[in-house]
Amino acid sequence: MKTAIVTGATSGIGRWIAGGLAQAGYRVTLVGRDSARGEAAQKWVTARAPGSETRLRLIDLSSLAATRAFAEEVLAEGRPLDCLVNNAGAFLGTRQVTAEGHERVLATNHLSPFVLTEALLPVLRTSGAARVVNVGSSTADRGVIDPDNLELTRGWNRVRAYRQSKIALLMVSLDTAQRLKGSGISVNVVHPGLVATGLVRERGVTGLAWRLLGNFALTEEKGAETPLFACIAPELEGKTGLYLKRSKAAAANPVTRDAALMARVVAATERLIGT
Ligand SMILES: NC(=O)c1ccc[n+]([C@@H]2O[C@H](COP(=O)([O-])OP(=O)(O)OC[C@H]3O[C@@H](n4cnc5c(N)ncnc54)[C@H](OP(=O)(O)O)[C@@H]3O)[C@@H](O)[C@H]2O)c1
């Protein structure tokens, strides 16, 4: 039986990705951080895919120590991992710093996926044909990144923090894809579309704007289609370093063509995670 890990599987797009993988016959580990939401999501997935094997792990992914501890647990089981979906994401209204000293949006959207992917490489390798799917955002199609200010100690605002975290995720994912060529592990980034989810949790003008946008947005089920395509589609076998929108390769932010900048973003990420 193939195995998959889906982060942020307790709501929104992630729940549908977990459901789709369970229906496709994967043994899915749902990663969430709240037991009630987690158990509800696990029940929901089981109802969609009767007889499927699922399990739930509760982890605050804004903590790199908790991310590493989870990876250790997976490594200790020694099973090959066929699919890792780094889907959990945060959009916050205020600048918050985690107990480990990291800006929370960057930690959740970029640092934790990088730490998890790197830590799980041994079990991804033993799969023979593993897929890492990182859920990015078209917000990152434009805009710049400052590798010397990834945590936005200067000039934080909610959109900039979200965008820069997703640009960093994109750049480092493409770099990882390049580094892992020939290893049997593919790394692709997907934009799910504008999807009516609870991603923006604050009230006020931003929350209202998000809820209004929801009228024009995809359903969560539709939003899971491109991520699931990246996980499962046979035509993507061995394809790596892609940025996918609507299940097709798309042009990524031009900053990804600046090799020197890519190297600086990778180095800044490694510094932040302490490697
Ligand atoms: N919706 C869109 O239009 C859109 C567009 C482009 C990209 N995306 C990306 O799609 C992904 C899924 O987002 P969504 O729209 O489905 O929003 P969502 O419903 O808010 O889902 C986000 C998921 O991430 C989890 N999460 C957030 N912070 C976490 C943490 N510190 N530790 C563990 N889990 C955490 C949430 O868990 P809880 O349930 O416990 O909060 C939730 O399950 C994100 O990466 C987002 O950036 C969304």
Q: What pLDDT, on the 0 to 100 scale, is given for residue 200? A: 82
127 vs 129: CA distance, rounded Å: 5
What contacts 157, CB < 8 A, 6 or more positions away? none
> What is the value of pTM for the model shown?
0.97
Q: Encoding tokens for residue 237?
A: 């076998």
Residue 204, strand partner residues: none
Atom of ligand 1 nearest to the CA of 15: 43
Q: What pLDDT, on the 0 to 100 scale, is given for residue 27? A: 98
At 131-145, the pLDDT tens digits run: 999 999 999 999 999
Q: What pLDDT, on the 0 to 100 scale, is given for residue 205? A: 86
Q: Is 164 helix (H, G, I), strand (E, B) or coil?
A: helix
Counting the structural domains of the chain, the total is 1
Q: What pLDDT, on the 0 to 100 scale, is given for residue 6? A: 98
Q: Which of these is catalytic: 114, 162, 229, 243?
A: 162
Is residue 89 lining ligand 1, measured as CB closer than 6 Å? yes
64 vs 166: CA distance, rounded Å: 17
Domain encompassing residue 13: 3-273
Atom of ligand 1 nearest to the CA of 10: 43
Sign of CA dihedral 119, 180, 268, 88: negative
Nearest CA to ligand 1 atom 37: 8
Q: What pLDDT, on the 0 to 100 scale, is given for residue 11? A: 94
Is residue 227 lining ligand 1, measured as CB closer than 6 Å? no
Q: What percent of the chain shows pLDDT beyond 90?
A: 91
Q: What pLDDT, on the 0 to 100 scale, is given for residue 208? A: 85
Phi and psi dihedrals of 249, rounded to 5? -65, 135
Residue 97, strand partner residues: 103
135 vs 192: CA distance, rounded Å: 7
Whether 47 contacts 72, CB under 8 Å: no
Q: What pLDDT, on the 0 to 100 scale, is given for residue 63? A: 98
243 is catalytic: no
Where is 27: in which H helix or E strand? strand 27-32
Q: What parts of the chain have a pLDDT lower than 50?
A: none
Q: What pLDDT, on the 0 to 100 scale, is given for residue 91? A: 95
Q: What is the CATH number of the domain that holds 32?
A: 3.40.50.720
Is residue 150 lining ligand 1, measured as CB closer than 6 Å? no
Q: What pLDDT, on the 0 to 100 scale, is given for residue 228? A: 98
Atom of ligand 1 nearest to the CA of 86: 45
Q: What pLDDT, on the 0 to 100 scale, is given for residue 209? A: 84
At 208-261, the pLDDT tens digits run: 888 888 888 999 999 999 999 999 999 999 999 999 999 999 999 999 999 999
